[in-house]
Chain A
Amino acid sequence: MLSLSSLRLRFGEAEIIAGIDLHIGAGELVVLLGPSGCGKTSLLRIAAGVERATAGRVENSFRRVAMVFQDPRLLPWADARDNAAFGLKAAGMGKAERRAIAEAILLRLGFSARDLDKRPAQLSGGMMQRVAIARAFALSPDLVLMDEPFSALDVGLRHDLQALLRAEVEGAGAAVLFVTHDVTEAVRLADRIVVFSPRPACVVAEVTQAPMLASVGAAYEASAALLHRPEIAAALAAPEASCLAVSGSRERLSLAGRATVAAS
């Protein structure tokens, strides 16, 4: 489990995160939804251990953690197979074994055998992001941290990669903490959506739902329903959002597009 308790972050005078409690269990896909620049990425970096919180506690019992960034961050001089095998090489796995694992994942993510030898400069943006996803899942991670990985891609490609990601997550049983500012993406992917206020970030709503990958129409309806909730609309559109109390209610989103209280 990853537990972030009473997390605060300040850069000098600027308060970035204003007290957040977040817990992610095994196999759960949690989407952090919030406006650009609200502190979502900072929280992800704290969870990854590359940024230190000003206050609060981070407990991470997941042993294998991988990350997918907004940009693919691939080695330009290495081919797709070796890029996907980077984490395995770092873990000390032998060349033949790691390349075989990387190859199998890349093929599952839609690569052809010819594409495996291509270097990033020869790949499209979507293909590069698939390599980045393969690099993360090659590790058989317990937890994957994803920072707006599809934000630079067109809608069709995003939908393809969202479906691939969801399949990969369900196959691997990994927990995922996924950052986005796209409501529809959150609704399509998430088991649980945590809505952040504009900076300084705090949680304004938390919604448990079934992921809506199957139907684009249902996903749009559910997105509209979320945006009809005043606290979420305010968080995503205006700076004056009020934070959800730690003891506040959590809700389950129905497919009909209405939010109904499921648990307290």
Chain B
Amino acid sequence: MAAPARTLSPALLSTLWGAAGLLALAGAWQWGAAAFGPFVLPSLAETGEAVVRLVTTGKAGPALLATLVHALAGCAAGGAAGFFLGVAGGLVLPVGAMSYPVFTALLGTPPIAWVVLALLWFGPGGAAATFTVAITVAPILFIATLQGVRSRDRALAEMAQLYRAPALMRFTDLVLPALADFLIPAVATALAFSFKVAVMAEVLSGADGVGGGIATARSHFDLPETMAWIVLAIAALILADALLLAPLRRRRAGRGHPTPVSVEA
């Protein structure tokens, strides 16, 4: 008698394919290191040793914490500003019409320009990094929220009106859940930008954090340590995504709203 055929669950398959992608990346990295030499790309082993050294000497922890604070504080401040203005703009036409070009201009401004301005305004240090993250993230959340509110279901709104739902209930039960489809991808993008921009601002401003570590490693021409800082920054981003966004994505998927979005590292 033939044994019943076993099939892998979609979640396990997805994990396996993800692992295969990471292995392919590691293979390409190792090939690049062998082909171009350690002065262009250090090997996986050299980078691994540098990661261990940064962690065991106690350099990594405070630097990662500083970058996390810059990224998350900026993301929270800019995200909140973008969200509330997006809600107001979606509900009140003149607010939306006035804000849209402003945020479009902000979105089009290169983050490096904000870093330079922030250095002039706030001086070197963490404030410049936090400000740059906030000003970069705000338009992303504003545009997503505005589109979400504007594309809300009018038929549901009429139903709520007929059932005399109070304004707060209409917001919490109709507007917010509909917004989640727009917000979760936007927050994932914003979070990824936050880390990238925070590290960039730290490199240029000489602030504490992963960026400061990269700047120091660069000044010593220490390529394995530079790569080690990059690996640590990506690890921190993935950790933040897993802790902050993955639960939200699972909740949405469980509600019949699959949100196949992952952080853009």
Question: Which residues of A does B touch, CB under 8 Å?
Answer: 48-50, 65-67, 69, 71, 73, 75-78, 86-87, 89-91, 119-122, 135, 139
Contacts and interface: CB of A to CB of B under 8 A. Distances in A.
B165 A119 contact: no
B163 A90 contact: yes
A121 B165 CA distance: 23
B156 A73 contact: yes
Contacts of A120: 256
What 5 pairs across the A-B complex have the smallest Cβ distances?
Answer: A90-B165, A73-B159, A87-B163, A77-B177, A121-B256
Given A76-B256, A77-B257, A121-B256, A90 B166 contact: yes
A66 B163 contact: yes
Given A75-B174, A90-B164, A69 B159 contact: yes
B255 interface: yes
A50 B156 contact: no
A76 B178 CA distance: 9
Contact of B164 (A77, A78, A91): A91
B19 interface: no
Contact of B169 (A48, A50, A66, A89): A89
B160 interface: yes
Contact of A69 (B155, B165, B257): B155
A76 B173 CA distance: 11
Nearest to B257: A77
Contacts of A77: 177, 180, 255-257
A137 B174 CA distance: 21
A50 B174 contact: no
Size class of the contact patch on chain B: 10 to 19
A64 B125 CA distance: 62
A75 B177 contact: yes
A75 B173 contact: yes
Interface centre among A50, A73, A77, A139 (most CB of B within 10 A): A77
B165 A86 contact: yes
Tell me what chain B mostly uses at the interface: helix, strand, loop, or mixed. Answer: helix
A151 to B, nearest CB: 16
Contacts of A48: 162
B169 A90 contact: yes
A179 B79 CA distance: 47
Nearest to A48: B162
B158 A50 contact: yes
B15 interface: no
Interface string B232-259: 0000000000000000000000011100
Given A73-B155, A77-B177, 11 more contacts: A50-B161, A50-B162, A66-B162, A69-B155, A71-B155, A73-B158, A75-B177, A77-B257, A86-B173, A90-B166, A122-B256
B255 A119 contact: yes
Nearest to A91: B164
B16 to A, nearest CB: 28
19 contacts: A49-B162, A66-B162, A67-B162, A67-B163, A69-B155, A71-B155, A73-B155, A75-B156, A76-B255, A77-B256, A86-B160, A86-B163, A86-B173, A89-B173, A90-B160, A90-B165, A90-B169, A91-B164, A122-B256
Nearest to B158: A50
Nearest to A73: B159
Contacts of A49: 162
Contacts of B155: 69, 71, 73
Contacts of A65: 162
A153 B255 CA distance: 25
A196 B54 CA distance: 82
A49 B159 CA distance: 12
Contacts of A78: 173
Contacts of B161: 50
Nearest to A135: B163
A87 B159 CA distance: 10
Contacts of B159: 67, 69, 73, 86
Contacts of B166: 90
Contacts of A73: 155-156, 158-159
Interface in B132-178: 155-156, 158-166, 169, 173-174, 177
A48 B164 CA distance: 11
B197 to A, nearest CB: 32
Nearest to A86: B163
A119 B255 CA distance: 7
A86 B256 CA distance: 19
A89 B159 CA distance: 13
A103 B151 CA distance: 31
A34 B41 CA distance: 78
Contacts of B180: 77
Nearest to B176: A77
B156 to A, nearest CB: 6
A10 B5 CA distance: 67
